Amino acid sequence: MGSEPNREGDFRWMGEALGLAARGEGRTSPNPAVGAVVVDARGAPAGRGWHERAGAPHAEVLALREAGERSRGGTLYVTLEPCAHYGRTPPCAPAVAEAGVARVVAAVEDPDPRVSGAGLRLLREAGLRVEVGLRAREAVRLNEPFFVWAKEGRPFVTLKVAASLDGRIATRGGESRWITGELARAWAHGFRAKVDAILVGVETVLKDDPLLTARPEGGEGKPLIRVVLDSRLRTPPGARILPPDRGVVTIIATTPEAPREREELLRKAGAEILRLGPGGETRVPLVPLLLALGERGVRHLLVEGGGRVHGAFLREGLAHKVLYFLAPLLIGDEGAPGAVAGGRAPRLGEAPRLIEVRHERIGDDLLIEGYLKPPVWAAYGDG
């Protein structure tokens, strides 16, 4: 019977649920990406679903809806514990209990304190057989920012760098377009489409006047929350990041000492001004900023420099991951800005070293990807 444990079948169906969940990656925040498969009592697939976007029906509901009466006596495979609280949609756990499935296999418990075992407990109390932990590491890795937010209360932070072989991110005069090739830039826009917000320093705004949007190849640009570190409010009111992008704000994070007249100009231009830290600060404090972003639903923050900004995140141990693009050119100028400034590691043993490193060639460029601290998924097994 399909509701009876079958290790090989369980592994396969959970793999399909994980593949479905990945379809929603980058579009469901602040919710996690979830996939579900219903297998009927004879062991045949009866329904599939994935969470497509925040506010849309959850994966379990869609899979059960497609399966209909074939759910009865079957098994539901789901990549995350069914929720048990009301949000923008009703809770899923009661719907699962009422659908008539005999067994639920969940990859991992939901880390959200509003759920955190409550959904699984409801299902067990309703008489369903519940198993947790199958392919858990893959499920957590898929929703890494969500799990980090639940643990730390602030976003998962990725630093992204595009540099020459000698570590320069621009020429002495500030020219940086383009260090990497077209394929690497397209990859970067695809990655932007998976995050919630993008952060730069005011120097980047002054030199490059970027849009800071996600423009994946063949897809519509995804609106991102844009964040600028600007301790003195030097951002020009005419900067391209300021006009609201389909209702998504641009946040200029600053200090209490920043000029009030500049704040008024930037607010009129469409910016949201966020003053952080006690009086006398000369730099925007990063921890309060990250906590503020976490409270407003940002689960994944992409930091795109420049060097001083990267150095600040590294110095305070606030970055989780690095994406470092190496382009096959040599700028060869000591006066050109570097990828990281102010990291202050007096000895090699104190320098941040990446772990879980992988390499990928993208066009003529090399992507080096790794973590600065043990990834949250490393603590989970595969069940």
Structure-token match 């917000």, residue found: 197
For 305-330, how does the pLDDT look when each residue is reduced to its tens digit (9 = 90+)? 788 899 899 989 999 999 999 999 88
> Catalytic site residue 60?
yes
Distance CA 181, CA 321 (A): 22
pLDDT band at 22 (very low <50, low <70, confident <90, very high): very high
pLDDT band at 282 (very low <50, low <70, confident <90, very high): confident
Q: Which is more confident, 161 or 18?
A: 18
Both tokens assigned to 260 = 């009030």
Reading phi first (left if > 0) and then psi (alpha if -120 to 50, else beta), residue 333 is in beta
8, 25, 60, 152: which is the annotated catalytic residue?
A: 60
The topology under which CATH files domain 152-375 is Dihydrofolate Reductase, subunit A (3.40.430)
pLDDT band at 345 (very low <50, low <70, confident <90, very high): low
Distance CA 197, CA 276 (A): 18
Across the chain, what does the average pLDDT equal? 88
CB 252 within 8 A of CB 276: no
pLDDT (0 to 100) of residue 334: 75
Distance CA 348, CA 320 (A): 20
Distance CA 212, CA 7 (A): 46
Which of 163, 159, 168, 162 is closest to 186 using CA atoms? 162
Task: Say if residue 178 is preceded by a cis peptide, omega within 30 of 0.
Answer: yes
For 85-128, how does the pLDDT look when each residue is reduced to its tens digit (9 = 90+)? 666 667 888 889 988 999 999 999 999 887 788 899 999 999 99
What predicted TM-score, i.e. pTM, was given to this entire model?
Answer: 0.90
Question: In the predicted model, is pLDDT for residue 349 greater than 80?
Answer: no
pLDDT (0 to 100) of residue 56: 87
Structure-token match 């066009």, residue found: 363
State the burial class of residue 337 (Cβ atoms within 10 Å of its Cβ: 0-12, 13-18, 19+).
buried
Question: In the predicted model, is pLDDT for residue 2 greater than 50?
Answer: no
pLDDT (0 to 100) of residue 175: 63
pLDDT (0 to 100) of residue 1: 42
Structure-token match 């964040």, residue found: 227
Show me where the domains of the chain are located: 7-142, 152-375
Both tokens assigned to 180 = 């990497």
What phi and psi values does residue 347 have, to the nearest 5 degrees? -130, 155
pLDDT (0 to 100) of residue 144: 96
Distance CA 34, CA 329 (A): 42
60 secondary structure, DSSP code: H
Share of the chain above pLDDT 70, in %: 91
Both tokens assigned to 364 = 């003529």
Question: In the predicted model, is pLDDT for residue 206 greater than 70?
Answer: yes
Which of 145, 108, 111 is closest to 28 using CA atoms? 145
Share of the chain above pLDDT 90, in %: 58
Task: Give the 3-state secondary structure of residue 313.
Answer: helix
Chosen CATH of 7-142 out of 2.40.70.10, 3.40.140.10, 3.90.1300.10, 1.10.10.10 = 3.40.140.10
Question: In the predicted model, is pLDDT for residue 253 greater than 90?
Answer: yes
Question: In the predicted model, is pLDDT for residue 302 greater than 50?
Answer: yes
For 182-199, how does the pLDDT look when each residue is reduced to its tens digit (9 = 90+)? 899 889 988 988 999 999
